[in-house]
Structure 1
Amino acid sequence: MSFTRTLRVVGSVVVAGALLFGSAPAASADQIRDDQWPLKAFDAESVWKVSTGKGVTVAVIDDAVNGSHPDLKGNVLPGKDVSNGGAADHESVNDHGTSMASIIAGHGHGAGNAQGVKGLAPDAKILPVAIPGEDDVPDPNAESLADALNFAVDNGASVINMSLSHPVLTEKEKEALSKAIKKDVFLVVGTGNDGVGRLGQLPSYPGVVAVGAVDKTGKVWDRSNYGPETMLAAPGTFIRSAAASKPYRLANGTSDATAYVSGAAALLRAKFPDLTAGQIANRLVKTAGLPAGKEGMKLPDPHYGYGFIKPYSALTKDIPTGSKNGPLKTPQAEPSTAPGGATVAGSSGSGNEQATGQKDSGLGMGAIVGIAVGVLVVVGIIVLVVVRQKKNDRNGPPPGGFGGPGGGVGFPPQPGGPYQQQGAYQQPGPYQQQPGAPGAYPPAPPTQPPGQ
């Protein structure tokens, strides 16, 4: 099965519009770095004083990556091409994987690394895992995504970036996603670039962080897919990144937004190594921002989720650790067959609730009382039946026998459901600027690239 990359290339266009996210552009000796408006928006220089993603491995399931690019050299591991075998760090034709890798962990080049593309987590390592693209002819029997996920998990990735469109999941792919979630891997997926109000099975899968794209003003990109599963948004228009077939590219897409969220997750995993993936998501959600005029909206919103990421705030604000799963749902377990052929259904929910009916291998007081009441009821019924039977032995059964509707009283099912919290991650106030970001928020939106 081939996969659609969720990014659109922009032609030669001028990056226009005011920065809602942060400071005005500063003078730089390199135009490529100047084009990276998200770094200015995030006040990346302040971010990197707190965390650079050092020690974190981010798997990029995508095209293979050009690990020799001057902005990536040394940050790309060999990885694997799961369809064709071999490493995945020598790409020279397909650009998408290299683009995502550079947004996440590019380090630039030249004096002081001031030239070229710099990623949000410049000291993170990229584990490239290549899968077939739109133009490839894959083995119809291959399970590329499942194999890629398993390879990433087995080779130390704590964040997995999936900037791709994959509408329907196979059972093997669901198993691989569930394995990654159980291994506490932070999974990030783009919502897609069709501008439609529905998400495929991959971004909708419980435990996955689905990401939409916003522009420089914080407004949702008009081609960003949306739905109730959207959790976060990030910069996704006029994004400058490295490439494999040429030095650099400029593009729109939820792919780019996904890569920025993966970069932010790498920063947080380096800063807070003891936090679970759900608790990392909690920090991103609790510190997310909304554009002017949208502060009072009900969250999560189908377009914004809980808002666009603010990495510096996520790294530095005093956020309660929260539950293990945070805002992430847990996958529903597949039914399994018990001894004797009985089917045991799985459950879904946040995973934070204690299993009902058992604690420390013993029964709770409520269960004991319930059993005692049930025993008394059964004894009463037996006595009543015996008495009636003796009477009927004398008088004979009524016409039609002793039949009648059955019945009984049982315990209602316990609610599962997604993670819930008072306030539902409502943002208390307007978007706050990053440190060192003077000025107001001009309302002028950027010019959209023609034909995109």
Structure 2
Amino acid sequence: MSFTRTLRAVGGVVVAGALLFGAAPTASADQIRDLQWPLKNFEAENVWKESTGKGVTVAVIDAPVNGSHPDLTGNVLPGKSFIDGQQSDKSDGTNDHGTAMAAIIAAHGHGPGNADGVKGLAPDAKILPIAYPESGGGVGLEGPIRYAVDHHAAVINLSISAASLSEAEKEALAYAVKKDVLVVAGSGNDGANELNAIASVPGVVAVGAVDKAGQVWEKSNSGSQLMLTAPGVKIASATASNSEPYRQGTGTSDSTAYVSAAAALLRSKFPDLTAGQIANRLVKTAGLPPSKAGLTLPDPHYGYGFIRPLRALTQDIPAGSKNGPLKTPQADPSTATNGANSAGASSGTGDQASNQKSSGLGTIAIAGIAVGVLVVVGIVVLVVVRQKKNGRNGPPPGGGFGGPGGPPGPGFPQQPANPYQQQPNAPGAFPPPPNQHPGQ
């Protein structure tokens, strides 16, 4: 089994250096907060009046986290490294990914009023760093997941991808769900119509990436199990390096971290809600850009939409069922029943046969069906005769109902030519709740 981190996408999306930060770390710290556009769009100052994530632990299964970064000090627990067996709150500075994810979630900034550097969406949450080999290294994911659950993580952030999972790893994810831990995973950065294996597991919140305008990033993987999207384009965050402490990245890793942070905010404010009910609040308050209004949800590219943490924290939403929108993991897919049948549908062929047998179809009912068939046949014959008289023996030119470019039929709305195409930035892509003002 091979794991690869979802930090980098085609074209060198991670940027650091003078172009973004200036020459000195102090200068970069002064500039970096202005680059954190998600905080502005989320109205973070108003969010933090409702919750800062205090009392919640988020496990970050990733590269080691630089717990001594000035924007993270005090918020990073020792954790464990499944690379060398040591603590995971120290980094050699060669891999920024874990530190970047931790900062998006729980950085607190530094300086007077913590106004400098990066700030996470849940700045009072604690990070449980769990170091995992970048390419798997023969280490299964089951150990890190179970460690996170057994060390009281309320949320697990998985900004890593996998081509496949072992049964032991699937069982570990099911263990997390059973223990009421919210597991969040990125959809992947391949621009494929398939989610990465972790995000595909029932019970996991699968996350795609959107840009500042709320449009889906073109490399964000899509699929029917995608649940939410979140900011993942040009995201400013921290690095594991002391010489260049900040970076800018793009990918579903970053969007996953934002969803984990939003979940931490909710778990702090609503400690009695289950993981499924937390996911329900995120889903019920998610939004779409104006150009996508009317999409049938969940959409393979947007899920239920992009997260809006302030609404999730303040809107009056019934708790709902224990599982919310999350499906229950099954040890044997062939025995799964949760969500497999629509309301009122029979559960199997045996029940269907039994229902038919007990329905008592008598002679009168059979005769009625026969009459109905004869009527339908008569209508078909009449239509064919009229078509022949009018010289229309086939569908309209173009081989379809309306031909190329014609109006879509009922129930089949016109789809965009390229569902990943980014549109120009539009104000209000992350609309504020009533009586709130953008940018405050």
Say yes or no: TM over 0.5. Answer: yes
What is the letter of the counterpart of residue 134 of structure 2? Answer: G
Whole-Å separation in 1 of the counterparts to 2:16 and 2:100? 17
Aligned-pair CA distance for 1:352: 12
Paired residue for 1:69? 69
Aligned-pair CA distance for 1:292: 1.1
Whole-Å separation in 2 of the counterparts to 1:291 and 1:230? 17
Aligned-pair CA distance for 1:438: 4.3
Whole-Å separation in 2 of the counterparts to 1:2 and 1:87? 24
TM-score by length of 1: 0.72
Deviation string 1:157-187 (CA, Å, 9 cap, x unpaired) is 0100000111201011011001000001000
Whole-Å separation in 1 of the counterparts to 2:163 and 2:48? 36
Paired residue for 2:292? 294
Paired residue for 1:99? 100
Paired residue for 2:336? 347
- % identical aligned pairs: 65
Aligned-pair CA distance for 1:5: 1.4
Paired residue for 1:56? 56
Any idea what SS the aligned residue of 1:129 has?
strand
Whole-Å separation in 2 of the counterparts to 1:304 and 1:127? 29
Whole-Å separation in 1 of the counterparts to 2:245 and 2:266? 29
Whole-Å separation in 1 of the counterparts to 2:266 and 2:42? 14
Aligned-pair CA distance for 1:214: 0.3
Aligned-pair CA distance for 1:332: 1.3
Whole-Å separation in 1 of the counterparts to 2:340 and 2:111? 48
Deviation string 1:350-369 (CA, Å, 9 cap, x unpaired) is 5999xxxxxxxxxxxxx9xx
Max Rg structure: 1
Relative to 1, partners in 2 of residues 1:29 and 1:240: Cα closer, same or farther, differing over 3 Å?
closer
Relative to 1, partners in 2 of residues 1:133 and 1:29: Cα closer, same or farther, differing over 3 Å?
closer
Deviation string 1:388-414 (CA, Å, 9 cap, x unpaired) is xxxxxxxxxxxxxxxxxxxxxxxxxxx
Aligned-pair CA distance for 1:10: 2.9
Conserved? CA contact 1:333–1:348, under 8 Å? no
TM-score by length of 2: 0.74
Conserved? CA contact 1:65–1:101, under 8 Å? yes
Whole-Å separation in 2 of the counterparts to 1:29 and 1:76? 20
Alignment equivalent of 1:242, drawn from 226, 238, 244: 238
Pairing 1:278–2:276 present = yes
Alignment equivalent of 1:11, drawn from 3, 7, 15: 15
Q: Gapped runs of 5+ residues in structure 1?
A: 16-27, 336-344, 354-366, 375-429, 440-452
Relative to 1, partners in 2 of residues 1:130 and 1:29: Cα closer, same or farther, differing over 3 Å?
closer
Pairing 1:189–2:193 present = no
Paired residue for 1:79? 79
Whole-Å separation in 2 of the counterparts to 1:37 and 1:303? 22
Paired residue for 2:382? none
Paired residue for 1:329? 327
Equivalent residue runs for 1:39-188 within 5 Å: 39-92=39-92, 93-134=94-135, 138=137, 140=138, 142-143=139-140, 145-188=141-184
What value does the CA root-mean-square deviation take over the aligned residues?
Answer: 2.8
Conserved? CA contact 1:330–1:351, under 8 Å? no
Any idea what SS the aligned residue of 2:230 has?
strand
Whole-Å separation in 2 of the counterparts to 1:437 and 1:146? 44
